[in-house]
Amino acid sequence: MEPNLGAEITTEPRINDRIRTPQIRLINYTGEQVGVVDIEAALAMADEIGLDLVEIAPEATPPVCKIMDFGKYKYEIAQKAREARQNQTHIVVKEVRLTPKIENHDYETKRSAVEKFLKGGDKVKITMKFRGREQTRPELGFKLLQRLAEDVKEIAFVEFAPKQEGRQMTMVLGPTKKKTEVVAEQKAAKAAKEKAAEEAAK
C-alpha cells in the first residue's frame, strides 16, 4: 500500500465525528462538567443546540471534549495569537564602554546614554577597558562602575556585578521597569498626545 503523500498534518483539535474514542469527559456549553459520557450521546447533545463537540484535551483518559461554537473558538484563538505578537517585546542589551581615567564631562555623557537605554526598558552592559598600567589598578575601574550603578539606582539594578576578564571588567545593569511597561506607557502617551491635538483642532 502506497503512503498517502497528500495527507496534511494538522494541529487543529478534532471535532464532531472526527473524535474516535467511544467515551469522553464532557464539558457543556456553559462550562459545567457533565462527566464521562458515550460519544454518541455527546454528539447528540451538541447537535441538539446547533453547536460543535470539540476535543480540548486529547491526552487525557478519557479525552476531554467541550460543546462550543468551533468557528467562534477558532476566531478567538487567532485573535489572541495576533494580540500576543503585537505585544511581544524584545529586550536588547546595549553596551557602553568606559576607561578608568575618563574625564568627568565624558562620564556624564556616558551616564546619560546609560539612563536613556534603561528608561527605554533595555539592559546595559558596561565594559571597562584597561590600557597599559591601568591593568595594575583594577580597583579604579571597579569604583567607577560602582559610582555609575549608584548614579542610576533610581531606574536600574545591578544584574551582574563587576567581573574582570583579562583587560576588561564588565557589569550588567537591568531596568527596574519592564520593557512591556515602557512600551505601554509610550503608547498611552502617544494616544494622549493625539487626543489633545484632536481637541485643539476642534
Count how many domains the chain has: 2
Q: What is the pLDDT of residue 88?
A: 62
pLDDT attached to residue 189 = 81
* Backbone torsions φ then ψ of 201, nearest 5 degrees: -80, -15
What is the side-by-side strand order in the sheet with 23-27?
33-38, 23-27, 64-68, 52-57
Q: Are 43 and 53 in contact (CB under 8 A)?
A: yes
pLDDT score of 86: 67
The answer to whether residue 166 sits within a structural domain is yes
Q: State if pTM tops 0.75.
A: no
- DSSP string over 142-161: HHHHHHHHHHTTTTEEEEEE
123 within 8 A of 173, measured Cβ to Cβ:
yes
Per-residue model confidence (pLDDT) at position 87:
63
Backbone phi and psi for residue 194, each to the nearest 5 degrees, phi listed first = -65, -40
pLDDT at 158: 92
CB-based contact 138:164 (threshold 8 Å): yes
Position 9 scores a pLDDT of 46
Residue range of the domain that includes 26: 16-70
Residue 8 lies in a domain: no
Per-residue pLDDT of the chain (202 residues; tens, 9 = 90+): 444 444 444 567 899 999 989 999 999 998 899 999 999 999 999 999 999 999 999 999 999 999 999 999 888 888 888 877 766 656 678 999 999 989 999 999 999 999 999 988 889 999 999 888 887 888 989 999 999 999 999 999 999 999 988 889 999 999 987 766 777 777 888 888 888 887 777 7
Interior angle at CA 140, CA 162 and CA 159, nearest 5: 15
**64, 114: one domain:** no
In a domain, 202, yes or no: no
127 close to 166: Cβ distance less than 8 angstroms: no
pLDDT at 89: 59
Q: What is the CATH number of the domain that holds 142?
A: 3.30.110.10
CA 70 – CA 160 distance, rounded (Å):
49
